[in-house]
Amino acid sequence: MLNELYQKIRDAFTDRELVLGEGNERADIMLIGEAPGRTEVELGRPFVGKAGKNLDMFLAHIRLRREDIYITNCVKFRPTRISEWGSVANRPPTPEEILAQRDFLMEEINIIDPKVLVTLGGVPLKSVMNDMGASIGAFHGRPCTGKSGRTLFPLYHPASIIYKRELAATYEKDMDRLAEYISALG
Ligand code: URA
């Protein structure tokens, strides 16, 4: 079923280099990031660049291994812009890009059928909540239920603490809460 979905996504975005989800297809925990970056596109895998190092630290903190979970992004290609120096840089996905891939993400969630969705940052929160106004500042660090009835545990994006050092303590506390939440799930 997952392979059929991956093919549908490839057919819908034939002009893009895609990075699809990977990991344990029977996972209780599904991690949803924003979109792949340059290294992810080069290697064709989610969360393997600098964000992957953050992810490894994150997994160690909540005492899980990469093979225990399923990891994907809500946008499967790298959104780019040309920087002021003329190089190719990342940019956040637009609401149109998020919405254009939302049905695929929902299908992916239904196939994996995890007990909890851990969204990393504002973009996957908006996508899963189907609310482009949902703000990570209001939802982070505690479980909530999306319109679909799925349980979400929103976290800040691990990369955001690099740019906003003041978030680091909050992020640690949120991860501790998530670890407690997961161990209570059994
Ligand atoms: N790499 C990913 O695969 N997703 C992100 O959200 C950031 C980096």
pLDDT per residue, tens digit, the chain (186 aa), is 899 999 999 999 999 999 999 999 999 999 999 999 999 999 999 999 888 888 888 899 888 999 999 999 999 999 999 999 999 999 999 999 999 999 999 999 999 999 999 999 999 999 999 999 999 999 999 999 987 789 999 999 888 887 788 888 999 999 999 999 999 987
Q: How do the domains of the chain map onto residue ranges?
A: 2-185
Q: Which residues contact 152 (CB under 8 A, 6 or more apart)?
A: 116, 117, 118, 119, 125, 128, 129, 139, 143, 144, 145, 146
Q: Ligand 1 mean position to 37 CA, how many Å?
A: 6
Q: Which helix (H) or strand (E) element contains residue 102? A: helix 102-112
Residue type, position 185, single letter: L
* Among 19, 31, 47, residue to substitute to test ligand 1 (most atoms within 8 Å of Cβ): 47
Contact 69, 32 (CB under 8 A): no
Is the CB of residue 72 below 6 angstroms from any atom belonging to ligand 1?
no
pTM metric for this prediction: 0.95
CATH entry 3.40.50.450 includes domain 2-185: no
> Which pLDDT value is given to residue 51?
82
